Each structure stands twice: as C-alpha cells, then as structure tokens.
C-alpha cells in the first residue's frame, strides 16, 4: 500500500487492499463479462465479496439496458445481484434529470427503449423512440413542428439515429432554456475479436456540433454516477474501490471521485497505456493511472477463498 501507482496486485497485497475497502464498484463489459460470456471466475468474486460483507455495485456507460435487464442478464450468468445495485446510464440519466435538473417537462429522446423505460419509471414523459426518416426540404426541416412541452434534449445510444433526429434535436436546442444531456461520450462500442461499432459519443458530437452547445454527460468519467449511488447507499470514498477495463472512463471516474482504482486487463486498456500516462508528466493524464492492475478479476479469488 505504498504511494507508487500502477502496481501489479498479487500476493498479500490483494487481501490488504480488500480489507481497506467496504465498497467495490465494477464496470461490466470487459470486466465481469465480454458480450454474452461471463469472465471466468467473475461471479464467484462478486458473490464472495458480498458474502464477506462488501457492498458491490455495477456502473456502466451502456445506455441500452434498464437496471432490470442488467440484473436479469447477470443473474442468468450466476451473479448474486439485485437491480438497485446496477447503475447504468439509462437509469442515471433519468435520475439526473429528476433529482439534479428537477426537470418539469418532456424529453426529446435520441435513445433506446431502455432509456424510455427508465425515464417513465421516474415519471418523465418523452417523445418516443424508433425510426424517424427524412421527408420534405430544408425549409420544412427548419419548420418541423416542435412539442411545446419539451424542455430537454437527451442523447444516448440510438441505432435509429438519423439526420431527421439530429435536426429535431437542433431545433429544440435553439431554444435557449432547453436542457441538453448526454448519457456518455464513448466513441466506440468494443465487440469480440477487436471489432467495434460507433458509440454514443459520435451521435452526441454531431448534435453538439449542430447546436454549438456542449451537453452535460452523466456517464463515466463524470462523477454523477458515483454521486448517485453514494447518495443512496452512503458510500465512504476512502473505503471504496473502482474496478474497470478502461483508463479514460473507469479509472478516471475513480480518480475524479477520490476512490482507489484497479485496472483489469480483460477489456480495452493495457498496462503499457497506463504507464505512458504515468510517464507523461501531464497532470490531467495522471487521473488515468490506476493504483493497481490485475490480469482478470479472477485474480482476487484466492484472497477471498483463503
């Protein structure tokens, strides 16, 4: 437990670290599963942590699932989890609009059915999801009928993103008092075999460029996701560990919130990248250097079983 960072977590250090924390936050994709495959040993780690009295939470930038959908997916994989332990951006975005913005009005939603569901669950009306194809000419687009009750534009992952949706978002955002919230800025959604598809960050960037305004994002590395769970569960920062596979979102979130941080190498980022940040001498990049790293969260198993 020295002051040095980016230390390989092994041997007696594992037990020492686990004893120093009451709460462990896990990113999901690349950490406890990859696609539809659980990381071997992940469910035992999670379940044993809970048996040992640790609070465990799941924080994910993916906005395409509700808390309930996550809990079901995880239960099917053998994780002992309840939906109120899951903090995805679909839920957190709704919570942000409700508790921080105290939104009175409707949302123009660029997003998924899961986002619609989480908004409705906190009593926020929205304009609907699904395809919205173009028709007419530029002057018709500029004069597209707007719903006068809309007081916020929300952008999450939307496979039906289109020029028409981009234009509607712009027309709402030209109203100065219209709020502008994004779920997250991930530029790509990584998939098996090193493949990737465009992430929410691309869609958000298009809307921001049109509107010449910057959205408030709720996802990692923004502190809101942590604030949200800390407010509900009374987490002590100094006794909290953030575990993730991405330096720019997971580890940065931990740094932003004053948590201990652990990089796992089953996902996107590498130790070499972390070391480059460390050696850069750039203050901002130090937030992307984890305290510790492991090959897989399965490396925590022996200490939990012993």
* 227 included as an active-site residue: no
Task: Return the residue of 13, 69, 146, 189 that touches its own copies, per CB under 8 A.
Answer: 189
Q: How far is the CB of 237 from its own copies (least distance, A)?
A: 32
In this structure, the number of other CB atoms found within 10 A of the CB of residue 259 comes to 24
Cβ–Cβ < 8 Å for 14, 306: no
Residue 139 contacts its own copies per CB under 8 A? yes
Residue 250 labeled ligand binder: no
Q: Based on CB atoms, which residue is closest to its own copies, 190 or 254?
A: 190
Task: Return the residue of 43, 89, 112, 167 that touches its own copies, per CB under 8 A.
Answer: 167
Residue 27 labeled ligand binder: yes
Which range of residues in 113-121, 158-166, 213-221, 277-285 is near its own copies by CB under 8 A? 158-166
Which range of residues in 13-21, 74-82, 133-141, 145-153 is near its own copies by CB under 8 A? 133-141
Residues 10-39 that bind its own copies (CB under 8 A): 35
Q: Label residue 134 left, alpha or beta by phi (over 0 means left) and psi (-120 to 50 means alpha).
A: beta
263 Cβ contact partners less than 8 Å away, ≥ 6 residues apart: 6, 244, 245, 247, 250, 251, 269, 271, 274, 290, 292, 293, 294
Residue 188 contacts its own copies per CB under 8 A? yes
Q: What DSSP character marks residue 126? A: B
Nearest to 245 by CA among 265, 225, 259, 261: 265
Residue 29 labeled ligand binder: yes
The residue count for binding its own copies (CB under 8 A) is: 38
Of the chain, the end-to-end C-alpha distance in Å amounts to 20
**What are 223's two structure tokens?**
């502190």
Nearest to 29 by CA among 82, 3, 65, 83: 65
Q: How far is the CB of 202 from its own copies (least distance, A)?
A: 4
Nearest to 109 by CA among 117, 101, 121: 117
Residues 197-226 that bind its own copies (CB under 8 A): 197-199, 201-203, 205-207, 209-210, 212
Task: Return the residue of 3, 53, 123, 131 that touches its own copies, per CB under 8 A.
Answer: 131
Nearest to 197 by CA among 254, 247, 158: 158
Q: Based on CB atoms, which residue is closest to its own copies, 166 or 268?
A: 166
Q: How far is the CB of 213 from its own copies (least distance, A)?
A: 11
In the sheet that holds 7-8, the strands lie side by side as 7-8, 292-294, 260-264, 240-244, 23-26, 55-60, 86-88
Q: Based on CB atoms, which residue is closest to its own copies, 134 or 231?
A: 134
Residue 220 labeled ligand binder: yes
Q: How far is the CB of 270 from its own copies (least distance, A)?
A: 17
Give CA–CA dist 306/133, Å, rounded.
Answer: 59
Chain centre to alpha carbon of residue 18: 23
Task: Return the residue of 159, 236, 238, 295 that touches its own copies, per CB under 8 A.
Answer: 159
* 27 included as an active-site residue: yes
Binding-site sequence positions for substrate: 220
Residues noted as catalytic: 27, 29
Residues that bind its own copies (CB under 8 A): 35, 131, 133-134, 138-139, 141-143, 158-163, 166-167, 170, 174, 187-189, 191-192, 195-199, 201-203, 205-207, 209-210, 212
Binding-site sequence positions: 27, 29, 220, 245
């Amino acid at each position: 437990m020295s002051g040095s960072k980016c230390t390989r977590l092994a041997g007696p250090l594992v037990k020492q670290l686990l004893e120093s924390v009451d709460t462990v936050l896990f990113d999901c994709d690349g950490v406890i599963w990859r696609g539809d495959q659980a990381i071997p040993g992940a469910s035992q780690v999670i379940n044993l942590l809970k048996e040992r009295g640790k609070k465990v939470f799941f924080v994910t930038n993916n906005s395409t699932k509700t808390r309930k959908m996550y809990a079901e997916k995880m239960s099917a994989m053998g994780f002992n989890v309840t939906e109120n332990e899951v903090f995805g951006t679909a839920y957190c975005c709704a919570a942000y609009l409700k508790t921080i913005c105290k939104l009175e009005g409707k949302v123009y939603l660029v997003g998924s059915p899961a986002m619609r569901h989480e908004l409705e669950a906190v009593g926020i009306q929205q304009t609907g999801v699904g395809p919205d194809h173009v028709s007419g000419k530029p002057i018709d687009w500029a004069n597209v009928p707007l719903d006068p009750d809309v007081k916020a534009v929300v952008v999450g992952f939307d496979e039906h993103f289109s020029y028409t949706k981009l234009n509607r978002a712009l027309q709402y955002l030209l109203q100065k008092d219209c709020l502008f919230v994004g779920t997250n800025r991930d530029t790509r959604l990584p998939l098996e075999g090193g493949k990737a598809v465009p992430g929410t960050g691309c869609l958000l960037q298009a809307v921001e460029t049109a509107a010449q305004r910057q959205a408030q994002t709720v996802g990692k590395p923004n502190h809101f996701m942590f604030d949200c769970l800390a407010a509900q569960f009374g987490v002590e920062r100094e006794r909290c560990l953030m575990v993730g596979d991405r330096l720019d979102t997971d580890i940065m979130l931990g740094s932003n919130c004053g948590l201990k941080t652990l990089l796992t190498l089953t996902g996107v980022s590498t130790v070499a990248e972390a070391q480059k940040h460390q050696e850069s001498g750039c203050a901002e990049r130090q937030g992307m250097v984890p305290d510790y790293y492991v090959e897989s969260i399965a490396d925590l198993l022996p200490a939990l079983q012993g």
